[in-house]
C-alpha cells in the first residue's frame, strides 16, 4: 500500500511539475519578441548576373489562407495533424502513441510532429538532428503558438513547405504542377499536393506517379476519417485523371536543383554563417551560376543519355582562374533522382589520374620524348608481390614509344613504368599539392585511377593544371547578404602556387594530343572520336574502369569534368564509355559559342621542336608524321644529344 501511495504521489507531483513548467515556458514565450514569419528563412539564390533563380519563401508569392482552396487546407490538416486546432503546438496523445509504436517495432514507423513543429523546423537553415536543434524547435513552436493564431501559423506553413522539384509554397506548387492558383484547386489536385511534403523526393508525381497516387489515397482516407469528405467524393477524386504541367515561369531546367542543392550544401559548411537566422529575416546568396552554361550542360546530357535511362551522370564546370563553379549537374534529371553525385559521390577516376603522374615525371627529368617499351609487363614490388597491368583492348606497341604518345594512347604499361621509376611517392605528393585530400596508397596501380575521388574535388585539382600551377578552391557562392544588405560572407578567391608553370604548360600541350590524328599508330588516341566536334584547343584526358567513365579537360578559361556510370556499380558497355566524352565535347563547345576561348602563351624557358610523335625523335624528311613537342630549354632533342636524352630508364620488372 505504501508503494502504491508513493507512485500516486510521484505521479501527481510529476504531473503538476510538467503543467507548471509548461505554463512558465508558454508565459515566457508570450513575452518574447514576435517572429516575422512572412520573411523568416527567406533564402534567395541569385545567378552571376544577380537574377533570382530560387527562393525558399518569396513574399510576392505569399498567399493568404483565404486564397487557398479549402480542400487543400483540410487535406493538409487531416494527413499531417488532425488535432491541429485543438492543441498548443504539441499533440501529446499522438506523441505517446508514436513512441509506443516505434518501441514495439524497434524502429521509427510513425512521427508525431505537429504542423507548428514542422513549421518551426522549416524556419531554420540547418536540418541537423542534434538535441540543441530539437530544443530550439520546441521553443520556436511555443513562440509561434503564443504570438499567432492557428490560421496564421497554417498560412505560414503552407507558404513555405517543400512540394518537391525545387518548388516551395502552395501558390508556386499549384502553378508548377497544375498551372492554376491555389484557390482554384479541385479535391483531386489538392489531395495530390497535400501528400507531397511528407517526402518531397518520393511523393512528387513527376518523380514517381505510382507512389504519389498511393500517398494520395492515404490523404483522401484521412479526409474521410476526419469528416471532411464522403467515401464517394474520395473515390471520384482518386479516379480523376490529373494532368501535370511541371513547368516554372523561368529556368525550367531539370538539373538546376542540383546546383541549388550544392549551394545549400556549401552554405551549411561556411562556419561564419549562423545555423539559424530567424531574427535577421533571411539570406541573399549570390552565386557564380551561368544559366546559359547550365542550359548547355543539360542539353548535352539529354542529347547523349536518352538511349540509356538507367545510367547516371555528374558534371562540373569551373572557372580555373578563381575556382567558381558556373554549372553543375548531379544526375540526369532531378525529378527522377535527387541524389547529387557531383558533391556526394566518390568514384574511381581511371586514367584521368595520369596527368598528375606525368607532371611529376616532367618535373623529375622526363621530357616529351622520353621513351619506354610498350609491351606486356609484370612488375615486382615489395620484394615478392607482382602486378601485371593491361592496356585497353590488350593493344601494345611492342616498341619504344614517347611520353607524348603514351599520353595520347593512355598506355598503362608506360604509366606504371614511369610510376615505378620515379617512386610511388611522387604521384602521391603531386596529388596532395593540387588538393586531392584522399588517403592515397603508394601502389603500382595508383596512376591507373583505382582510387575513388569526388568529381567536384577532382575538377578542382585539374584547376591547378588549367591555371598553370596555381591551386584554387572550387566553390559556388560569391557572397551572402542578410535582409538589410550587410555582407555576412564573401569568397576570397585565393590562389596558391603549387606547380611549376612551365612544366604545366608542356603537360597541357601533351594533353591536347589526345584527339590528334598525328598520333594514329598501333592504336588511336583516346579522344579521337570527338575530334570533329572540337573547334577550340583543349587539354583533355579520359579515363575508364569497369564501372566508371570520366572525361576531364580544360583550356585557360574553363575546366569541365564529366562522370558517367551506374549507381549500383554495374559494368559499363563499350557504348557507355563514349557518353562522357560526347557530353564533355558538346557542353564545352556550346559554352564557347558565346564566350571567347583562349590558350596559353609560350613561356620564355620553353622551346618547340618538330619531332616524330611516336618515337619522339627529331623529325626527318622520311617521317610521314610530324608534330611539335615542347621542352624546357636545354632538354630538347638535337641530332647530337638525342641518344642521351632517351637513355634507358630501368624499372623493376620481369
The set of catalytic residues is 80, 351
Query: Per the structure block, which three cell numbers stand in for 484?
Result: 538589410
Q: How far apart are the first and last CA of the chain?
A: 89
Cβ atoms of residues 115 and 159 within 8 Å: no
> How far, in Å, CA of 305 to CA of 286, rounded?
31
Q: Bridge-partner residues for 489, per DSSP?
A: 480
Cβ atoms of residues 161 and 80 within 8 Å: no
Least Cα distance to 561 among 459, 640, 478, 637 occurs for: 459
- Per-position b or e across 420-457, b if 16+ CB within 10 A of its CB: bbbebebbbebbebbbbeeebeebbbbbbbbbebbbbb
Least Cα distance to 290 among 50, 629, 566, 532 occurs for: 50
Cβ atoms of residues 90 and 117 within 8 Å: yes
Residues listed for the chain: 654
In which element (H, E) is residue 489 found?
strand 487-490
Q: In what order do the strands lie in the sheet with 559-565?
A: 325-329, 312-318, 559-565, 548-554, 539-544
Q: Is the dihedral of CA 502, 504, 505, 510 positive or negative?
A: positive
Least Cα distance to 359 among 573, 508, 518 occurs for: 508
Tell me the Cα Rg of the chain.
31
Query: Per the structure block, which three cell numbers stand in for 138?
Result: 520546441
Q: How many CB atoms lie within 10 A of CB 222?
A: 23
Query: Per the structure block, which three cell numbers stand in for 232?
Result: 464517394
**Alpha-carbon torsion angle 551, 553, 558, 563, nearest 10:** 10
DSSP letter at 480 equals E
Q: Bridge-partner residues for 286, per DSSP?
A: 46, 479
> How far, in Å, CA of 241 to CA of 432, rounded?
57
In which element (H, E) is residue 287 found?
strand 283-287
> How far, in Å, CA of 201 to CA of 199, rounded?
6
Q: Is the dihedral of CA 215, 217, 221, 223 positive or negative?
A: positive
> How far, in Å, CA of 147 to CA of 155, rounded?
14
Cβ atoms of residues 283 and 482 within 8 Å: yes
- Specify the 3-state DSSP secondary structure of 371: strand
> How far, in Å, CA of 552 to CA of 580, rounded?
9
Q: Is the dihedral of CA 213, 90, 69, 59 positive or negative?
A: negative
Q: Bridge-partner residues for 45, per DSSP?
A: 54, 285
CA 416 from centre of chain: 32
User: Where are the alpha helices (H) located in 108-199, listed in sequence order?
Assistant: 115-122, 131-147, 150-158, 170-178, 187-195
In which element (H, E) is residue 355 found?
helix 354-362
Amino acid at each position: 500500500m505504501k508503494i502504491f501511495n508513493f507512485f500516486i504521489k510521484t505521479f501527481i507531483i510529476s504531473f503538476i511539475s510538467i503543467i507548471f513548467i509548461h505554463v512558465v515556458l508558454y508565459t515566457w514565450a508570450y513575452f518574447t519578441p514576435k517572429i516575422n514569419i512572412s520573411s523568416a528563412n527567406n533564402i534567395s539564390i541569385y545567378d552571376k548576373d544577380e537574377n533570382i533563380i530560387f527562393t525558399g519563401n518569396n513574399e510576392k508569392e505569399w498567399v493568404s489562407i483565404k486564397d487557398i482552396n479549402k480542400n487543400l487546407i483540410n487535406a493538409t490538416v487531416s494527413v499531417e495533424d488532425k488535432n491541429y486546432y485543438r492543441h498548443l503546438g504539441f499533440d501529446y496523445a499522438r506523441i505517446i502513441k508514436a513512441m509506443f509504436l516505434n518501441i514495439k517495432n524497434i524502429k521509427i514507423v510513425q512521427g508525431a510532429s505537429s504542423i507548428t513543429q514542422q513549421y518551426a523546423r522549416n524556419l531554420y537553415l540547418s536540418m541537423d538532428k542534434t538535441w540543441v536543434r530539437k530544443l530550439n524547435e520546441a521553443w520556436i513552436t511555443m513562440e509561434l503558438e503564443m504570438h499567432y493564431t492557428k490560421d496564421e501559423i497554417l498560412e505560414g506553413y503552407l507558404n513555405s513547405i517543400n512540394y518537391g522539384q525545387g518548388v516551395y509554397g502552395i501558390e508556386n506548387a499549384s502553378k508548377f504542377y497544375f498551372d492554376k492558383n491555389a484557390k482554384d484547386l479541385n479535391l483531386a489536385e489538392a489531395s495530390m499536393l497535400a501528400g507531397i511534403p511528407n517526402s518531397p523526393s518520393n511523393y512528387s508525381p513527376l518523380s514517381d506517379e505510382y507512389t504519389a497516387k498511393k500517398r494520395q489515397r492515404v490523404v483522401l482516407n484521412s479526409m474521410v476519417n476526419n469528416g471532411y469528405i464522403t467515401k464517394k467524393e474520395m473515390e471520384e477524386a482518386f479516379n480523376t485523371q490529373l494532368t501535370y504541367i511541371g513547368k516554372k515561369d523561368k529556368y525550367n531546367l531539370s538539373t538546376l536543383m542540383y546546383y541549388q542543392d550544392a549551394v545549400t550544401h556549401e552554405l551549411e559548411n561556411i562556419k561564419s554563417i549562423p545555423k539559424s537566422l530567424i531574427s535577421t529575416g533571411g539570406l541573399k546568396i549570390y552565386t557564380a551560376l551561368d544559366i546559359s552554361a547550365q542550359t548547355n550542360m543539360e542539353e548535352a546530357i539529354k542529347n547523349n543519355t536518352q538511349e540509356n535511362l538507367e545510367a547516371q551522370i555528374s558534371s562540373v564546370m569551373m572557372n580555373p582562374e578563381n575556382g567558381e563553379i558556373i554549372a553543375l549537374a548531379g544526375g540526369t534529371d532531378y525529378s527522377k533522382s535527387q541524389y547529387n553525385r557531383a558533391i556526394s559521390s566518390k568514384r574511381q577516376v581511371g586514367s584521368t589520374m595520369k596527368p598528375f603522374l606525368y607532371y611529376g615525371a616532367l618535373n623529375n627529368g622526363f621530357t616529351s620524348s622520353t621513351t619506354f617499351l610498350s609491351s606486356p609487363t609484370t612488375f615486382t614490388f615489395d620484394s615478392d608481390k607482382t602486378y601485371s597491368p593491361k592496356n585497353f583492348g590488350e593493344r601494345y606497341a611492342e616498341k619504344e614509344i614517347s611520353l607524348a604518345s603514351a599520353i595520347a594512347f593512355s598506355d598503362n604499361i608506360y604509366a606504371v613504368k614511369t610510376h615505378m621509376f620515379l617512386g610511388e611517392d611522387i604521384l602521391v605528393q603531386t596529388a596532395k599539392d593540387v588538393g586531392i585530400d584522399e588517403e592515397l596508397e603508394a601502389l603500382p596501380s595508383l596512376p591507373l585511377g583505382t582510387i575513388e575521388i569526388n568529381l567536384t574535388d577532382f575538377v578542382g585539382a585539374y584547376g591547378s593544371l588549367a591555371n598553370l600551377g596555381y591551386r584554387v578552391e572550387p566553390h559556388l557562392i560569391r557572397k551572402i547578404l542578410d535582409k538589410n544588405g550587410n555582407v555576412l560572407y564573401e569568397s576570397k578567391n585565393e590562389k596558391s602556387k603549387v606547380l611549376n608553370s612551365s612544366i604545366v604548360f608542356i603537360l597541357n600541350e601533351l594533353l591536347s594530343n589526345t584527339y590528334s590524328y598525328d598520333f594514329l599508330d598501333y592504336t588511336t588516341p583516346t579522344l579521337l572520336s570527338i575530334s570533329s566536334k572540337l573547334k577550340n584547343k583543349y587539354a583533355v584526358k579520359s579515363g575508364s574502369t569497369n564501372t566508371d567513365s570520366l572525361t576531364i579537360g580544360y583550356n585557360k578559361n574553363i575546366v569541365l569534368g564529366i562522370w558517367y556510370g551506374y549507381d549500383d556499380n554495374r559494368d559499363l558497355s563499350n557504348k557507355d564509355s563514349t557518353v562522357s566524352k560526347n557530353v564533355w565535347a558538346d557542353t564545352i563547345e556550346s559554352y564557347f559559342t558565346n564566350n571567347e576561348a583562349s590558350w596559353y602563351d609560350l613561356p620564355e624557358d620553353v622551346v618547340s621542336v618538330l619531332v616524330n610523335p611516336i618515337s619522339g625523335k627529331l623529325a626527318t624528311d622520311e617521317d610521314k608524321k610530324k608534330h611539335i613537342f615542347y621542352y624546357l630549354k636545354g632538354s630538347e632533342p638535337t641530332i647530337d644529344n638525342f641518344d642521351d636524352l632517351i637513355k634507358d630508364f630501368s624499372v623493376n620488372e620481369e
